Chain A
């Protein structure tokens, strides 16, 4: 009898301890799954994105043949000519330069570099199609170049880069290769000779997006567009958000109306971001007739979207201030406003700062609402003002992932993702650094 009870207890204990171990293991496995995923995600982004930050370019001796470049003198401004007229004339003159057969010069330079005649279309296909603008701008800068030979560093085309980087299988039959057999042989020879080298692709951060010459497409326009949107968010969302948090937390009486505002803000924080895009399309674009694709409008939409985040975070920072501080201020005769602005706010400043940076970081990574206000348009300029057409970093990622030249643009999209995540990391690091610094001061 006794032995059997003890056995029962022992047996049950063993079972319960096994269950304990199992439960614990499941917990540990869950955490491991989450961490593994983070490792895979960042591993993939870095291993695919970092190599594409280096691109092949060619050092070519380009002879600016006067026979090929035949352009008249620059137009002089006539008496009484209007600005627009003169500009049109100058543009016409510059257009003559664009009509020059720069490809002939590039082809000749490639021939010179490999030391044999390469079929001209194959030769030109190695070099990025934007190279002809590089040559044109060099001549426009310095007309005395005509007739001389100059060493120029020109980007390799996307297809040539794919081949040289080994992104394409070398066993594919000719008809499935983008480049002709002759072009591929030439590339190999150029790489062998050290004329074609991998260099860090600074142009990816300096150039704007380009459709015709993918190798030289860059993120500059997207950077500037995102910057404008951040500015709008900082100028509008942060003050409005902080002010309404102060009102709701410090001044508002507890009644039906403030209850409604509270529920409303909590709900707004969980409304899908795309709904804000619909609001932007219906109100800003369709009723107010603000321009499509403008970073200013994007900034407005993102402002409305981040407002609840900033309000909620600021409110919890305000709530963390001990009531004794408020009572002490009120007790020695400060008015409510003085209490808030002279005593409570200085203490919560680090918290408010963190809340604002969180909101800005959220706005930086948002894509969906921007698509609905036309920011997915292809823009080949750096927007000069927030009202001009522009793009944004996450939207640029969306556009690049859809490019047909997958072999070239997949790694490049990862590189753009690195740029975006790097910016967000910097924002968060800034928040942490500022908070530590401000909190230590006290």
Chain B
């Protein structure tokens, strides 16, 4: 309620102060030329008025409810014998204060505290609104007094805009920082239960879910690493040949019109959510592969590393083909013409000149693709069968980092138990592996771009 009120108030303050700033500037201009156009003066005045109000509203919005609880909790605790009843009583008092009432008899002390709570809320609300308005007025008058012909309002407004832009680009850095800090902190908490050596070099994955919470499971990630690498390898075995050859065919051989149709069609594959691939693998591809295996005399599990790998390869085809497409087309025509002019056939030119020249870029694209395959979650959750056992048989069910992260955090175990915290240690491993791959790819692609510029 008050939030909407404050938001409306901010908008009104902006409108009024902007008008006042503009007309003040127009008045000041009567003697000659202004340095800045009146719009800028209006905007600057509006900023001076609205920013303090917005800041106070924000503080109120974040702190008001907490302050109210902090205000009534000791009063409730005084009335009750045991501390365990406090949360329930707090709920009742809050319901009473908000006017909906509660079921059953209302004790006198409850009514009294609810009354106090209402007054407290009203008081903080009034203080917030009044303080905000005062601050807005102060800003408004300060800014209005400064309006004159030589005032460089435009420069100030532009500086404000630039500051806002910088703040926005800091969000991306904060995100990375948040990821790193939260992963490191929780991983250290995990390592207080399990030693890093057991974690990194253990060959048995058995978290030992137990109701007593005594975390005595084994957390060796080698089975997960093996599963992840196997699936990634299968995916690459599908995606690299098909993706690369598609890109070559589309850039070098396909007629322009066909290319215009086929290229977007292949890119459709990149837009399909991975859960769709996972479900398709689970109900269609897996059973089909299993039947095929039975036909040629192999035992293939319907959910296996093979199923997950093949479907992941398909998902990655457009990724490799469109990246390689761009890279191949960056190879200078002069090189191609030179080779053709010496009498090489088209395929020889491609194999011996174009691809070697584009190789660093293609390798970069492949590294990015590998990083995607390692971090892919939903496909493996549905199609890999989840069996964290160390074995190198692609026809059997397996498990990966990502599957285990999902399992650890979607179960019922306590957040502070090693069974849950292990998700962060796995996430850290995953983050580091993909970081190395991404940075490697970026480095290679950048180097390559310089080569022909």
Contacts and interface: CB of A to CB of B under 8 A. Distances in A.
A binds B: yes
Contacts of A34: 242, 246, 266, 269, 314, 317-318, 321
A31 B275 contact: no
Contacts of B424: 278, 282
Contacts of B275: 365, 367, 394, 397-398
Given A23-B350, A27-B246, A84-B102, A247 B165 contact: yes
Given A30-B245, A337-B158, A368-B377, A311 B164 contact: no
Contact of A264 (B101, B172, B186): B172
Counting chain A CB atoms within 10 Å of each CB, the highest count among B168, B314, B439, B441 belongs to B168
A368 B424 CA distance: 15
Interface string B220-251: 00000000000000000000011111101110
Contacts of A241: 168
Contact of B171 (A31, A240, A286, A417): A240
A272 B437 CA distance: 12
B166 A247 contact: yes
A428 B283 CA distance: 28
Interface string A231-255: 0000000011101101110011000
Given A248-B169, A401-B279, A279 B178 contact: yes
B168 A243 contact: yes
Contacts of B280: 41, 44-45
A271 B321 CA distance: 20
Contact of A421 (B272, B317, B368, B410): B272
A266 interface: yes
A371 interface: yes
A376 interface: yes
A278 B182 contact: yes
B279 A243 contact: no
B183 A278 contact: yes
A308 B169 CA distance: 10
A19 B344 CA distance: 12
B150 interface: no
Nearest to A17: B345
A38 interface: yes
Interface in B394-435: 402, 405-406, 409-410, 415, 423-424, 427, 430-431, 434-435
A213 B265 CA distance: 39
Given A34-B266, A261-B169, A421-B276, A274 B406 contact: yes
Q: How large is the interface on A (under 10, 10 to 19, 20 to 34, 35 or more residues)?
A: 35 or more
A266 B179 contact: no
Specify the main secondary structure of chain B where it touches its partner: helix
A14 B252 CA distance: 21
B134 interface: no
A307 interface: yes
Contacts of B381: 368
A268 interface: yes
A26 interface: yes
A212 interface: no
Contacts of B291: none
B241 A376 contact: no
Interface of A: 16-17, 19-20, 23-24, 26-31, 33-35, 37-38, 40-41, 44-45, 82-85, 88, 239-241, 243-244, 246-248, 251-252, 260-261, 263-268, 270-279, 281-283, 286, 304, 307-308, 311, 335-337, 361, 364-368, 371-372, 376, 394, 397-398, 401, 410, 413-414, 417, 420-421, 424, 428
The 10 closest A-B pairs by CB, nearest first: A272-B375, A27-B249, A82-B101, A365-B273, A244-B169, A30-B245, A282-B182, A243-B168, A368-B377, A23-B347
27 contacts: A16-B345, A20-B347, A23-B350, A31-B266, A34-B321, A44-B280, A45-B276, A45-B280, A244-B168, A247-B169, A252-B169, A261-B172, A263-B439, A267-B439, A272-B376, A274-B405, A275-B427, A281-B409, A304-B175, A337-B161, A365-B272, A365-B275, A371-B406, A371-B410, A372-B406, A401-B282, A417-B279
